[in-house]
């Protein structure tokens, strides 16, 4: 069964600093037409940064749309003409002050498939070294380093509840499980 919707027209109804909103008219698989409104996003990265003590680097940041602070993994949007690997390195350093000796890609996920084309690329950063951070103007956050078991418990009981962090922790758990299975033993 072909489920493809064919774009008939597209109108940009809003252009912000980095997000835009479109309203498209589409032809449905049954030949009828419908309207689709969606957010265009430049893409983002999220980083699972493990320090030498086995702690995960997290951030506590106020999120205006929801009116409260969240505990999250470091993340940020991609700049034009920047690879997601370079974005991950830049965002980790800017937000937390950490650089990493070892980087590995964990996977990608689409957090809002019903209304946005945003994709988040997840990276594992290891061999961390602490440096001075370079927050963007108007960016305020607290950096935390917590044992991985505690972080996983926080995701399980709702203290960590943003989808980006939960997906990232799932990718990390799978990577670490595969790593332990490959160890001789």
**Band of the pLDDT at 93, cuts 50, 70, 90?**
very high
Whether 137 is a known active-site residue: answer: yes
> For position 88, what pLDDT does the model report?
98
d(C-alpha 85, C-alpha 103), whole Å: 8
**Band of the pLDDT at 79, cuts 50, 70, 90?**
very high
Evaluated on CA atoms 30, 33, 37, 41, the torsion sign reads positive
Catalytic residue of the set 101, 132, 137, 183: 137
Contacting residues for 55 by C-beta, under 8 A, at least 6 apart: 145, 146, 147, 148
Angle between helix axes 163-182 and 148-157 (nearest 10 degrees) is 140
> For position 183, what pLDDT does the model report?
63
Provide mean pLDDT across the span 14-43. 97
Task: State phi, psi for 182 to the nearest 5 degrees.
Answer: -80, -15
Provide mean pLDDT across the span 123-130. 97
Instruction: Select from 121, 115, 114, 116 the least CA-distant residue to 77.
Output: 121
Q: Note the pLDDT tens digit of each residue in 154-184.
A: 999 999 999 999 999 999 999 999 987 766 6
What is the average pLDDT score of the chain?
95
> Which of the two residues, 70 and 134, has the higher pLDDT score?
70
pTM for the predicted model, two decimal places: 0.93
Q: Reply yes or no on whether the pLDDT at 44 is more than 80.
A: yes
> For position 24, what pLDDT does the model report?
98
> For position 185, what pLDDT does the model report?
56
> For position 181, what pLDDT does the model report?
74
> For position 184, what pLDDT does the model report?
63
Provide mean pLDDT across the span 123-135. 94
> For position 135, what pLDDT does the model report?
87
> Which of the two residues, 15 and 184, has the higher pLDDT score?
15
Instruction: Select from 156, 141, 87, 154 the least CA-distant residue to 119.
Output: 87
Evaluated on CA atoms 116, 46, 147, 62, the torsion sign reads negative
Whole-number CA gyration radius for the chain: 19
> For position 120, what pLDDT does the model report?
98
């Amino acid at each position: 069964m072909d489920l493809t919707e064919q774009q008939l027209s597209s109108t940009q109804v809003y252009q912000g600093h980095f997000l835009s909103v479109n309203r498209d008219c589409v032809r449905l698989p049954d030949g009828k037409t419908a309207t689709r409104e969606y957010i265009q996003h430049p893409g983002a990265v999220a980083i699972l940064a493990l320090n030498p003590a086995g702690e995960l680097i997290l951030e506590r940041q106020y999120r205006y749309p929801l009116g409260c602070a969240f505990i999250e993994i470091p993340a940020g949007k991609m700049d034009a003409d920047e690879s997601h690997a370079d974005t991950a390195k830049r965002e980790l350093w800017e937000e937390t002050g950490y650089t990493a000796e070892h980087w590995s890609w964990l996977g990608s996920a689409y957090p809002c498939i019903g209304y946005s084309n945003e994709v988040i690329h997840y990276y594992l950063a290891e061999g961390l070294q602490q440096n001075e951070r370079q927050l963007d103007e108007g960016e305020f956050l607290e950096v935390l380093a917590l044992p991985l078991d505690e972080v996983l418990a926080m995701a399980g009981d709702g203290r960590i509840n943003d989808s980006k962090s939960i997906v990232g922790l799932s990718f990390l758990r799978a990577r670490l499980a595969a790593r332990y299975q490959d160890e001789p033993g």
